[in-house]
Structure 1
Amino acid sequence: MKKIMLLGVSAMLLLGSCVSKKEYAALEAKQKETQDRLNSATVKLNSCLADKASAQSRVTSLEERIADLKKSNENLIQSNKDLTMLTTKGASNVEKTLESLREKDLKINRLQDAVNKKDSVMLALVTSLKKEVGINDPDIEVNVEKGVVFISIADKLLFRSGSYIVNERAKEVLGKVAKVVKSKPNFECMVEAHTDPVPYNKPPLIDNWDLSVKRATSVVRVLEDLGVDSAKLIAAGRASFVPVASNDTAEGKAANRRTRIVILPKIDEFYEMIEQEMKNLEAGGN
């Protein structure tokens, strides 16, 4: 076997030595061309492999997105089924809720009517008071706040300084107020006295609390003497703790020394009016 191989190599060497330089150059050029083509093909192959990897990555990403979309679609389908079941199950409840809302709306309207009726009565009362009392005096003010009538009378019109004895001029004004209050049997009358913060101590009274309460009861007694039902009267002293102006000036202190007569509907009768409206509503519904 070795002899045969030696003979083959020898023959090749002999044959190689027989190739001309021209042929050798041609072969060498051919070999170079082939090598260049091989290098070019290798570059293209590497580029194709890179494109393939990139495409494979995009395919994987798209497959993941498709899987997510399928899952989301399944969830939406399930949610739609659940919603359909809830809608079907709750249809009658929705109708009942709407009916309940309509009933509540009617009740609210009835209550609003009652409140409006009360407000109308209060406005009529204000008109009557202004007509009777004659608001030409700057020391008397009549107005409505939050559905309640207030008659505010300056301290100097009712009392002398530091006194709780009602003067004769004030009795004339209180007489007109009493006339209006007596004409409204469904209303109560609260007398609310206020002072300034200047310390007060004239025995038997020891401070502004005593003075404000004593002034309130003095006005109440005048109204009683003028025929107002005692059960409709309330006396309240507020001392200096509810000012309407600054106490830094004499004018402010004078404004804070005042007596308010508050005319308000009896709460129990107001609620009875509302209750009656509710009964009317129920009777109408039946």
Structure 2
Amino acid sequence: MIKKSLLVLLAIALTTSCVSKKIFSDLENKYTELKKERNALADENETLKNVKKEAELLKTDLEKTKAERDKLTTDYAASSNNLKALKSAYDALEKNSGEALQSNLGKNRELLAQLEAKEKALAVEKDRLNKLNADLKDRSDRVNELEGLIASKEASMKKLKETLSKSLKAFEGKGLTIQQKDGKVYVSMENKLLFESGSWAVGAEGKKAVVAVGKVLGDNPDISVLIEGHTDNDKFAGSVGQIENNWDLSTKRATAIVNIISENAKVKKENLTAAGRGEYSPLMSNDTPEGKSKNRRIEIILTPKLDEISKMLNEI
């Protein structure tokens, strides 16, 4: 419409040669303003179109939201009804089980008290067990240490026996025997090697054997030495007044052996003991000459120092 009006005005202006320049300029300005107005209206029209599209989209979203709202309303109503039903069921269950619950609560309290008492007893027993385990380990360690010490003593006594066997090899078959038993070493010398009948004086050959024993003992100063004199059961028939009986004779013979061993300065005198056993510890029956000969003897019993072992045994 505006465009047509402008065209008419321009046509009039062109046909009328007598129109002044001022009028033409005013018309041209008017045309420019109208053109601007047209462009503004076109932009406004485009904006309205966009607004319309957005309104249509909002309407669609609104409808969708209403549908979701309606569905949520329906779900809420269903859930509310379910909740009411569950609450009613729970109230009924609570009402019906109240007495049983109280009874169970009482039993549970009693069981809890018993459980606490047992837990305390268990803790006490656990502490006792831990102490026993500690004591057992301590004792086990001591036993292991003791076994090691005993094994060491056994080994040293075995070595001592071997040393004595080498030192006394010259007297083999002359009534001298050496054996190791019960942790000790036994050197047995028959009287035929040492004494004349009824005498306690040691012969030359026998003295060599005793001196050899003393030399080995001098190299092993921690060995306890018990010298025992033994006789057969024949009554002593020597000089009256010097020897009273076999017991007295066996003691004097043991003492004679102690005196010879003591001649070695390296032997500790406090480790030596003389004892007379008389006829009361025979090796064989005295009913035969062979038995009597075996029973007439000197036994040198070598024992390792057991003070340390005894102390450990008392501590176990």
Same fold per superposition (TM over 0.5): yes
How far apart are 1:110 and its partner, in Å?
Answer: 0.9
Q: Give the gaps of 5 or more residues in structure 2.
A: 1-110
Match of 1:213? 251
Q: Contact 1:158–1:170 at 8 Å: present in 2 too? A: yes
Match of 1:242 in 2: 281
User: Structure 1 residues 89, 190: CA separation in 2 closer, same or farther (over 3 Å shift)?
Assistant: closer
Which amino acid in structure 1 is aligned with residue 148 of structure 2?
D
Shift in Å, 1:187: 1.3
Match of 1:98 in 2: 133
Equivalent-residue separation in structure 2 for 1:269 and 1:260 (angstroms) = 26
Distance 2:268 2:129 in 1: 54
Give the superposition deviation at 1:220.
1.4
Distance in 2 (CA, whole Å) between partners of 1:98 and 1:269 is: 25
Opposite residue 126 of structure 1, the aligned amino acid is K
- Output one character per residue of 1:58-110: Cα deviation in whole Å (capped at 9) or x when no partner: xxxxxxxxxxxxxxxxxxx9xx9686764354223222222221121111111
Which of 217, 220, 230 does residue 194 from structure 1 map onto? 230
Contact kept in structure 2, 1:186 and 1:269, CA below 8 Å: no
Does the residue aligned with 2:281 lie in a helix, a strand or coil? coil
1:253 corresponds, among 292, 300, 306, to 292
TM-score under structure 2 normalisation?
Answer: 0.57
With 223-232 and 102-111 compared, the bigger mean Cα shift is at 223-232
> What are the superposed Cα offsets for residues 161-210 of structure 1, whole Å, 9 maximum, x if unpaired?
11111000101111211110000011122211100011114221111011
Number of positions where the alignment pairs a residue of Structure 1 with one of Structure 2: 198
1:176 equivalent in alignment to 2:215 = no
Return the offset for 1:133: 0.9
Secondary structure in structure 2 of the residue aligned to 1:252: helix
Give the whole-Å Cα distance in 2 for the aligned partners of 1:269 and 1:223: 26
Instruction: Map 1:31-42 to 2 at 5 A.
Output: none
SS at match of 1:238: strand
- The 1-side partners of 2:235 and 2:250 are apart by 12
How far did 1:137 drift? 2.1
Aligned residue number for residue 67 of structure 2: none
Unaligned 5+ residue runs, structure 1? 1-76, 279-286
Amino acid in the other structure paired with 2:243: L
Code of the aligned partner of 2:178: V
Give 1:153 shift. Answer: 0.4
Which of structures 1 and 2 has the bigger CA Rg? 2
| TM-score w.r.t. length of structure 1 | 0.63
1:111-190 superposed matches below 5 A: 111-134=146-169, 136-137=172-173, 139-190=175-226
CA RMSD, Structure 1 to Structure 2 (Å): 2.5
Structure 2 CA distance for partners of 1:194 and 1:90, relative to 1, 3 Å: same
Runs (4 or more) in structure 1 with deviation over 4 Å come to 80-85, 269-272
Give the 3 Å change call, closer, same or farther, for CA 84–259 of structure 1 in structure 2. Answer: same
Distance 1:91 1:222, change over 3 A: closer
CA distance in 1, matches of 2:269, 2:258: 8
On the 8 A contact 1:213/1:238 being kept in 2, the answer is yes
Name the CA shift for 1:222/1:89 in 2 (closer, same or farther; >3 Å). Answer: closer
Match for 1:224 among 250, 256, 262? Answer: 262
